[in-house]
Chains A and B, each alone.
Chain A
Amino acid sequence: MSASLTLFEKVWRAHEVVPETADTPAVLYVDLHLIHEVTSPQAFTVLRERGLRLRRPERTFATLDHSTPTRTEQIFGGAPITVDAAARQVRELERNCADMGVELLGLRDARRGIVHIIGPELGVTQPGKTIVCGDSHTSTHGALGALAFGIGTTEVGHVFATQCLLQRKPRTLAVTVHGTLPPGVGAKDLILAIIGKIGVAGGTGHVIEYRGETIRALDMDGRMTVCNMSIEAGARAGMIAPDETTFRYLAGRPRAPEGAAWEAALERWRQLPSDPGARFDREIDIDAAALEPMVTYGTNPGMVIPIGATIPERSDDPVLAKSLAYMGFTPGEPIREQSVNVVFIGSCTNGRLSDLRAAASVLRGRKIASGVQMLVVPGSQQVKRDAEAEGLDRIFIDAGAEWRESGCSMCLGMNGDLVPKGHYAVSTSNRNFEGRQGIGARTLLASPLTAAASAVRGRVTDPREFF
């Protein structure tokens, strides 16, 4: 029992219902199952076909985020949801949750929001928990020291019926970040730089633990941004050891433990960080002080460069050529000053209050460039209220941006918030895949600061120009 364990191993071991063998995967217990309208309907169908009920409906928590509208009149004003199939999905989740006894934060609920924003915000996401959701960005919750990962719809059905999953134990990758992030460089730039370094398949089969003084110095919003994009490096999950920053964040949240239960939880959570001498299967180091604002130039998040750099030239790489042709970029040209048509601030990556504050800090007293469409979509209704209480909505609206209700929105364009064909979007979201934000849409991933600065000039802009 004296062996040094990693954070991941501690959480994994505590949830083994049946450990793995050479022939069979582990049966892993799931503490919290988050569901949404897009990846759950077929799992409910399987339950019904087999005459099953949810084993633990009280460990299941539902919201509507992916295909929901963001226009206020469509949420609160009785205007219909434009996409018929999306409206059907919303109704189906409402019916499924009512039938199966699952708590749903419905369309008009004041606590609704993107599933990965509201879990931590409500305090249902807690250190040491196993958390799954039919969504790859479930890795976000690892920022609080949970083991959280995305699953497919068949697995959603498994968790419904048994509260368990069959899982092979992943390997571990320690990403240790040293030094102080320079001004204008934040958590988004850090994770983009990490993905650029290890590649979009670099974390496959691994759970990443982010460590080091730079990670410790990040606030919870920043930690969530980092863990969120673990999947973009191919990793199963990303985790950060809980510490006083985590505990301060959780204290007093609606679903966090209280009183004696809080004290007992703190005692358990303080045991979670990786032991000194714990071994990881792989380790890499990152120097934060050397980082610059990062921006993607291609069609996956690993195709990323510092904002002052030029678009790579590799004449022997047809995949790069295909990607640049899609983006309409020429090898060797600077990424700065490329023209921008759309700016999107939001998503489970950068839709939290500190992200909106960062964007607003650039936009305060300024206007976005003429011809630029800018959408600001808070990650949750709570984020929206908090931002409005600080007057951030006025800053965005006065600058010429649209201020919307919460949801996934333009990150994946399921709800009709789309980037037009051929247009360039600087987006604080997580994926720049072909067509992700609309057919033919060209996405440049960046931080909220860079996105806001680019909105002001209508060109890809280093936010440090505004400091």
Chain B
Amino acid sequence: MEAQGLLRSRTVVLPVRDIDTDQIIPARFLTTTTREGLGAHLFEDWRYGPDGAARPEFALNRPEAGGCTILVAGHNFGCGSSREHAAWALRDFGVRAVVSTQIADIFRNNALKNGLLPVIVEPDVHAWLLEHPGAQVSIDVQSTTLTLPNGTAVRFALEPFARYCLLNGTDELGFLLARESEIAAYEARLGSV
């Protein structure tokens, strides 16, 4: 995974709470056996009408959303299914960070493994961001701060190991494989029970 330190972007805002992974990527697109190309179907049923035409009013379809890498969403983003396809679809579309007041556990884990940064902010900051779509913000993994357009920097919580992996491009599988002797010792103890 490539290292990721600083993001600077205008925001795109979905002011809906409890956005579930069935909305992010509907189940009918899970029959794929690869990770690629899912961005085309990101929020498929919100982005496109029944005739397949893009809904112009949907935030991700607006011209000003072009090039935005920071998604601000309502409370409890990513709830529901464990499908990593949701994180893959967001990354494939170009999203690099999701900002909310809460992000569901499995989605958060999946996001971090794909260089998609979950950013939990306080309700007042969140409320401001929801009301100001297109705000230019920056997110610094090193200092775990999100900086608002007026220069105010707010801290966000990021699990220290996840932060380390993001900053150094560390691969968690490599880290686990390097624990071989501990795993083998554990299995030897299991065998003796």
Whether B87 lies near A164 (C-beta < 8 A) is: no
Interchain CB contact under 8 A, A39 and B186 = no
Give the shortest distance, in Å, between A321 (CB) and chain B (any CB).
11
Q: Are B76 and A234 in contact (CB under 8 A)?
A: yes
CB distance from B166 to the nearest CB of A (A): 14
Closest to B81 in A: A136
Alpha-carbon distance A284/B190, docked complex (angstroms): 36
Which of B22, B28, B32 is packed against the most chain A CB atoms within 10 Å? B28
Residues of B within 8 A of A201 (CB): 18, 75-76, 79, 102, 104
Q: Is A161 an interface residue (CB 8 A)?
A: yes
Q: Number of A residues contacting the other chain (C-beta, 8 Å)?
A: 67
**A436→B32 CA distance, assembly (Å):** 18
Docked Cα-Cα span, A332 to B37, in Å, equals 43
Complex-state Cα separation, A200 to B161, whole angstroms: 27
Q: Are B179 and A39 in contact (CB under 8 A)?
A: no
Distance (whole angstroms) from the CB of A48 to the closest CB of chain B: 12
Interface string of A392-420 (1 = CB under 8 A from B): 00000000000000000000111000000
C-alpha gap A41/B84 in the complex (Å):
12
A158 and B172 within 8 A (CB) = yes
- CB of A86 within 8 A of chain B? yes
Q: How far is the CB of B57 from chain A (nearest CB, A)?
A: 13
Instruction: Judge whether B109 is part of the interface by a CB distance below 8 angstroms.
Output: yes
B16–A152 CB distance below 8 A: no
User: Closest CB of chain A to B37's CB: distance in Å?
Assistant: 12
The answer to whether B23 touches A435, judged by C-beta atoms less than 8 angstroms apart, is: yes
Task: Please tell me if the beta carbons of B22 and A39 are within 8 angstroms of each other in the complex.
Answer: no
Contact, CB under 8 Å: A436 / B110: no
Question: Interface 1/0s, chain B 151-193, versus A by CB < 8 A?
Answer: 0000000011100100000001101110110110011001000
- Count of residues in B whose CB is under 8 Å from the partner chain: 52
In the complex, the chain A residue whose C-beta lies closest to that of B107 is: A152
Are B79 and A89 neighbours in the complex by a CB distance under 8 Å? no
A459 at the interface (CB under 8 A from B): no
**In-complex Cβ contact of A157 among B34, B173, B179 (8 A):** B173
- List residues of chain A with CB within 8 A of the CB of B84: 39, 42, 134, 152-154
Closest to B31 in A: A85
Q: Which residues of B contact A50 (CB under 8 A)?
A: 173
A-B contact count (CB 8 A): 171
User: Residue B20 at the A interface, CB < 8 A?
Assistant: yes
The reply to whether B22 and A300 form a contact with Cβ atoms under 8 Å apart is no
The answer to whether residues A27 and B182 also contact, given A42-B34, A136-B81, A234-B76 and a CB cut-off of 8 A, is yes
A166 to B23, CA, bound (A): 28
Contact A39 B109 (CB under 8 A): no
Chain B residues near A464 (CB-CB < 8 A)? none
Contact of A166 among B20, B83, B160, B176 (CB under 8 A): B176
A158 touches B176 (CB 8 A): yes
Q: Find the B residue at minimum CB distance from A236.
A: B105
User: Would you give the shortest CB distance from A173 to chain B, in whole angstroms?
Assistant: 13
Q: Is B106 an interface residue (CB 8 A)?
A: yes
Q: For residues 114 through 167 of chain B, which have their beta carbon under 8 Å from a beta carbon of chain A?
A: 114, 159-161, 164
CA–CA, A436 to B18, complex, Å? 14
Q: How far is the CA of A67 from the CA of B83 in the complex (A)?
A: 14
With an 8 A cutoff between CB atoms, is B82 at the interface?
A: yes
Which residues does chain A contribute within 8 Å of B176, judged by CB atoms?
27, 158, 161-162, 164-166
User: Per-residue CB proximity of A110-142 to B under 8 Å, as 1/0?
Assistant: 000000000000000000000000111010000
Partner of B26, one of A27, A38, A435: A435
Which residues of chain B in 1-55 are interfacial with respect to chain A, using CB atoms and an 8 Å cutoff?
Answer: 15-18, 20, 22-23, 26-28, 30-35, 45, 50
- Give, as a whole number of angstroms, the nearest-CB distance from A90 to chain B: 10
The reply to whether the CB of B96 lies closer than 8 angstroms to some CB of chain A is no
Chain B residue nearest in CB terms to A22? B160
A433 interface residue (CB < 8 Å to B): yes
Interface centre among A22, A152, A162 (most CB of B within 10 A): A152
* Cβ 8 A contact of A413, one of B28, B104, B110: B28
| Given A41-B33, A300-B18, 8 additional A-B pairs, CB 8 A | A42-B33, A55-B183, A66-B30, A155-B109, A155-B113, A164-B176, A201-B79, A322-B16
The 9 listed contacts between A and B (C-beta, < 8 Å) are: A25-B159, A27-B182, A38-B30, A39-B83, A45-B33, A88-B33, A162-B183, A319-B16, A319-B74
